[in-house]
A and B are shown apart, each in its own frame.
Chain A
Amino acid sequence: MNEIGLNHYLVVSCSLFFIGIYGFLTRRNLITMLMSVELILNSININFVAFNKFLFPHKLDGVFFVLFIITIAAAEAAVAIAIIINLYRNYHTIDVEEVTTMKY
């Protein structure tokens, strides 16, 4: 237990992933849901970096992927926040339960 191996990384990433999913499914606040999505993305990032380091130490493919994902996540956060702001202006709430205009 003196060395941190691949499994440790995977455990962290897995728990982060499920915490994210749990948050995404249970929270009603859109900002919190967005944060949960970020958690999921970051758990994937950890996976990528860990696999890159332990399986292909001479390559950088995994790291590049991480960079891409971070970029996408930033863009996505911008879009999502724009949507949230518009939602707030129209409904004065960002609770997903309250926004039910498109319901059956």
Chain B
Amino acid sequence: MLSTFLIVLIPLLPLISFTLIALAGRKYFPGFCGILGTVSLLVSCILSGMVAYDYFFVVGKIGDVYQQLVPLKLTWLQFGANVSIDLGILLDPISVMMIVIVTFISLMVHIYSLGYMKGEERYATYYSFLGLFTFSMLGLVLSANIFQIYMFWELVGVSSYLLIGFYYDKPSAVAASKKAFIVTRFADLGFLIGILVLSYYSNTLDFQTLITRLSTPTDQYHSIVTASFLGGSALTWGLLLVFIGGAGKSAMFPLHIWLPDAMEGPTPVSALIHAATMVVAGVFLVARLFPVFSMDGFALNVVAWVGITSSFLAALIACTQTDIKRVLAYSTMSQIGYMMFSLGVSKYGGEQGLGFMASMFHLFTHAMFKALLFLGAGSVIHYVHSNEMKDMGGLRRLMPVTHLTFLVACLAIAGIPPFAGFFSKEEILQAAYRSNKAVFGIAVLTAAITAFYMFRLYFNIFWSRDFQGHGKDAHHGEAPMTMKFPLILLAILSFGAGMIPFGKYISSDGKPLLTEFNPTFSITPVLLALGGIALAWSFYKKESQKPAAISASLDGFYTMIYHKLYIDEIYVFITKKILFNGIGRPAAWFDRNIVDGSMNGLASITASFSFMIRRLQSGKVQQYSVYFFAGLLGFVILFIYFWN
């Protein structure tokens, strides 16, 4: 077993690098910050690899079941006999998998940024923020306590906010960072109330105890199922509230509006935070509490339907966007929707737990190919200096490495065998097929749309028309080696990660879940995906009028999708028109006139009173001594009077 110290070091190293760079880096070693951050992450990544090896192959298994290990547990805030907020580390299959993903993707992004952010004015600040984010994310996945996860949850929110608003002189970036922060904060309010509900009924904040108490309710903790509020049991409400928090962070419909705007941040950040790691925190949260979720059919149904709705709508919207990062953002949302509904259709334990396993599997493969897509897009943007599709085209000869790796990622996300996405998506579709046919139908349709819009993106960037940009005398080559290396490595993983027998290691109850490959089932989704690719090929391989004609024929519908179903506008209407006028303005009036008014009134009474008596303080010594002697005389007279 690895020593606790080494495990603690995994999240601590990025924190140290953050502290060092933030305090001293900008002043004393500005050029060295990137290397420092990268090296600390490299060590962290190697350590988490060792922990993963140790956990999966040496100590994690007792009998045939993966155990939950708690190598570190500190009591931090003790509120009473049995309520305390602890800090701890919880190792189980999903948290070990998450630390590997987070440190690995973060390392790739660190290396990539060495080239991408070179010459940036706030280079050091950038790396310090990356360190802060990595620390918070690692802390989040390792949390042994539901309150601890909440703290790290907020920390990732803050670092995401900082990184989205990295180009703080761009008004759109500032607006996007505020939007992301406010929307996720709003969702976190639900999370907090959910935590309070769950821990109130289970009488603990510790994950293991909480899960045991709630998933096998004895008489003592049974009240959570019987207590009812507005037609739902306390358990349902608690889980739904927690899910609101998860949906906000994972950009699920209708709380997804912040994610596309979050693309204002630097592209490697989008790859790290808004594609591979932070946005799956919601999925992770549901997975962490899955034994409890599986107790409540209604909450699981909500998870499934929210997931599939987000997945489908995001795929539709992605077909109409022209900013390549926005297309990727919507595809992220769509894929996270897949993970969510896969959890939603799953049950706990055994064969029934296929959805859970599939969801985690997809989380794993998605992290690889989505990070690759974003980094590839970053490399394209680096070359073209634009986010718009119309400025690109014909880049396949100019950027061979990016082209090939991007193609691999597109095939992976479209679910073409034998790329990674195929395997995980097949598991998800099978899980959906077994328990919910309606969800399955929409999911297959979404898979086809996914293939279409990803290849629309691919053909638009690399084929379509000749590159018109900076002519023959290109001012720099494709990309520096630091940017190509992560692309190649991630491409290899996007190709190969699907071969891992995932169910052997990760399943809902820790027992190995062996899935057999089912070719007859896979034919339909793969054919549909190929159909989507063929459609994209016929539309976008060469510049043609067909897409424009079709969008014109779909007039109203197309405009609605193009404007993202007007969800942003609805939010603006609700906040500006209803909340601001109905609550904000009266509250402001009350604040100005009643609260401030009473304080100002008190202050002005004091001021005018002291103005009245200010002449007493004449500064003349003799006047003072007159008062003194008069007072003394008064006392003497009183004394004599009472003496008798």
Residues of A within 8 A of B (CB): 21, 24-26, 28, 33, 96-97, 100, 102-104
Contacts and interface: CB of A to CB of B under 8 A. Distances in A.
B622 A103 contact: no
A25 B619 contact: no
A9 B629 CA distance: 23
Interface of B: 614-615, 617-622, 625-626, 629
Contacts of B629: 21, 25
Given A100-B619, A104-B615, A104-B619, 11 more contacts: A24-B622, A24-B625, A25-B625, A26-B622, A33-B622, A100-B620, A103-B618, A103-B619, A103-B620, A104-B614, A104-B618
8 tightest Cβ-Cβ pairs between the two chains A and B: A103-B619, A102-B619, A104-B617, A104-B614, A25-B622, A100-B619, A25-B626, A96-B621
Contacts of A102: 619
A96 to B, nearest CB: 6
Nearest to A21: B629
Contacts of B619: 100, 102-104
A25 B620 CA distance: 11
A39 B621 CA distance: 18
User: Does more than half of chain A's interface fall in helix, strand or loop, or is it mixed?
Assistant: loop
Nearest to A102: B619
Nearest to B618: A103
26 contacts: A21-B629, A24-B622, A24-B625, A25-B622, A25-B625, A25-B626, A25-B629, A26-B622, A28-B622, A33-B622, A96-B620, A96-B621, A96-B622, A97-B620, A100-B619, A100-B620, A102-B619, A103-B617, A103-B618, A103-B619, A103-B620, A104-B614, A104-B615, A104-B617, A104-B618, A104-B619
Contacts of A104: 614-615, 617-619
Contacts of A21: 629
A20 to B, nearest CB: 11
Contacts, number: 26
Nearest to A27: B622
A89 B629 CA distance: 31
A33 B620 CA distance: 13
Nearest to B622: A25
A13 to B, nearest CB: 16
Contacts of A103: 617-620
Contacts of B626: 25
Contacts of A28: 622
A17 B615 CA distance: 29
Contacts of A26: 622
A28 to B, nearest CB: 8
Contacts of A100: 619-620
Contacts of A25: 622, 625-626, 629
A102 B629 CA distance: 22
Contacts of B615: 104
Nearest to B619: A103
A30 B617 CA distance: 20
A85 B476 CA distance: 83
Contacts of B617: 103-104
A36 B151 CA distance: 74
Contacts of B621: 96
A92 B200 CA distance: 79
Contacts of B622: 24-26, 28, 33, 96
Nearest to A24: B625
A97 B620 CA distance: 7
Nearest to A97: B620
A19 to B, nearest CB: 14
A100 B620 CA distance: 7
A86 to B, nearest CB: 16
A43 B202 CA distance: 84
A64 to B, nearest CB: 26
A65 to B, nearest CB: 21
B86 to A, nearest CB: 60
A39 to B, nearest CB: 14
A1 to B, nearest CB: 28
A18 B615 CA distance: 27
A88 B328 CA distance: 84
Nearest to A28: B622
A84 to B, nearest CB: 13
A104 B617 CA distance: 6
A59 to B, nearest CB: 26
A78 B639 CA distance: 36
A84 B620 CA distance: 16
A45 B539 CA distance: 117
A96 B621 CA distance: 8
Contacts of A24: 622, 625
A48 B619 CA distance: 34
A24 B620 CA distance: 12
Nearest to A30: B621
A103 B625 CA distance: 15
Nearest to B621: A96
A22 to B, nearest CB: 10
A82 B640 CA distance: 40
Contacts of A96: 620-622
A57 B494 CA distance: 114
A4 to B, nearest CB: 27
Nearest to B614: A104
Nearest to B616: A104
A28 B620 CA distance: 10
B532 to A, nearest CB: 86
B620 to A, nearest CB: 7
A44 to B, nearest CB: 14
Contacts of B620: 96-97, 100, 103
A73 to B, nearest CB: 18
A24 B626 CA distance: 9
Nearest to A101: B619
